[in-house]
Amino acid sequence: MYPFLPSENGCLLNGMSHTPGIRQAQKLKTRQALLDAALTLLEEKSLSSLGLREVTRAVGVAPTAFYRHFDGVAALGVALVEEALGSLHGMIGAILADTGDSEERLDRSVVLIARHVAEQPAHFRFIAREQHGGVGPVREAIAAQLRAFTEEVARAIATEPQSAGWDRQDLLMLGGLYVDHMVLTASALLDAAGPEDEREVVRTARRQLRLVTLGRAHWLDS
């Protein structure tokens, strides 16, 4: 599936005499160009209707060149999932590393999501669209990644004093609620018509998070 990188460990050896990277670098460049073009095209289409030729045409390479990088459109989709959720991973890390008052953290989280969505709209749109989309492998890849995020969030939540006495099921449940809410908020931000709409979405998202946090605080009272 992935191209062998034989010069990776031989880099230092090759670095002496022969130039090691030109060919690989070019290949990676084309590959990235394919991914970028696909992501752009996917802003107003869904993956299952994305044509292989359409992508190569946008990049300016022959249709056959596509196969040098991916088995088919589905494989490209899976690669896009990795790319998109890489940036998401960074964002979640930043949110979890946040400290301070619960209310402030909540605010900062929503703002952070809004900023990332504004910076990488295509990535979020792709994830939201293909999460329930028509291409099986891509759907599964996204589900697996989001499940990983849920566990990560649950693990972070577990270390906080508010979560004393919570069992694993409850922690995962709350983590899932947070992750789902994040994806939904991102999608709502993308659908927002203008700056005013966006602020409204942010306000609502904050309110909803506050309610969830409130429920969390009284979870063990039942």
Partner DNA sequence: AAAGTCAGTGAACAGTCGTACTCCCAACTG
Partner DNA sequence: CAGTTGGGAGTACGACTGTTCACTGACTTT
C-beta closer to a copy of itself: residue 91 or 172? 172
Q: How far apart are CA 59 and CA 53, in angstroms?
A: 10
Residue 65 contact, options DNA, a copy of itself, none, Cβ 5-8 Å cut-off depending on partner type: DNA
**Residue 51 or 93 with smaller CB distance to a copy of itself:** 51
DSSP string, 100-148: S-HHHHHHHHHHHHHHHHHHSHHHHHHHHHHSSSS-HHHHHHHHHHHHH
10: Cβ contacts below 8 Å, ≥ 6 apart: 20
- Quick count: other Cβ atoms within 10 Å of Cβ 80? 25
* Contact residue for a copy of itself among 6, 10, 137, 215 (CB under 8 A): 215
Residue 93 binding result from DNA, a copy of itself, none, given CB thresholds of 5 to 8 Å by partner type: none
- The residues of the shown chain that bind DNA, judged by CB under 7 A, are 3, 6-7, 10, 14, 18-24, 26-27, 29-30, 51-54, 57, 60-69, 72-73
Which residues inside 89-128 make contact with a copy of itself, applying CB under 8 A? 125, 128
Q: In this chain, which of 24, 25, 49, 101 binds a copy of itself, going by CB under 8 A?
A: 49
**Applying CB under 8 A, which part among 4-12, 113-121, 131-139, 154-162 lies near a copy of itself?**
131-139
Tokens of residue 111, six digits: 């703002």
Question: Closest Cα partner for 116 from 198, 199, 210, 186?
Answer: 186
Question: How far apart are CB 77 and DNA at their closest, in Å?
Answer: 12
